Structure 1
């Protein structure tokens, strides 16, 4: 992977984390703050909790693009509430 690819990936991840922070702050969706609180209560560090939530957002964005459809807020909230189980069924450590 080139240095350019690394910087693009880092930018994308930072952008997703910023989006999650905005969702938590605005409580939109309401599940965002609840899930963040749940993850930190069960022992996830702040950055790790934000990263897990960003993975769910990235999964939904990829599905939107692949399927050429609008954002599915209902699926997104369900997937957030399922954390630390990721959309692929694995459990984050």
Structure 2
């Protein structure tokens, strides 16, 4: 058990954890080929010269936008919107 008071946990650490969790989710999608759009978009962006880390960050951004919208509206994950937004990369969706 940690002796660090909860209020001492840095907000940057939480953001870093969230970012790495989202990137891990994207890597899992690529590995499982689910949704298929994830791998297709990854391959497309690789072909046009984007680096792996940049692609993963863009894809994680799209996932984060959908998760935020899902939580805000108290609705299920919209896989159709998610796949459409992935296919629009490198254009990023707006984040409210």
> Normalised by the size of structure 1, how large is the TM-score?
0.90
1:23 aligns with 2:37: no
| Secondary structure of 1:44's aligned partner | coil
Deviation string, structure 1 residues 13-49 (Cα, Å, up to 9, x no partner): 0000000000001000000000011111111100000
Q: How far is 1:88 from its partner?
A: 1.8
Query: Of the two, which has the highest radius of gyration?
Result: 2
Distance 1:49 1:41 in 2: 11
Q: Which residue of 2 aligns with 1:87?
A: 93
Segments of 5+ residues of structure 1 without an aligned counterpart are: none
Question: What's the RMSD between the two structures over aligned residues?
Answer: 1.5
Segments of 5+ residues of structure 2 without an aligned counterpart are: 1-7
Q: Which residue of 2 aligns with 1:71?
A: 77
Distance 2:20 2:94 in 1: 22
> 4+ residue stretches of structure 1 with deviation over 4 A?
none
Deviation string, structure 1 residues 36-93 (Cα, Å, up to 9, x no partner): 111111111000000000000000000001100000000000000000011129xxxx
| Secondary structure of 2:10's aligned partner | helix
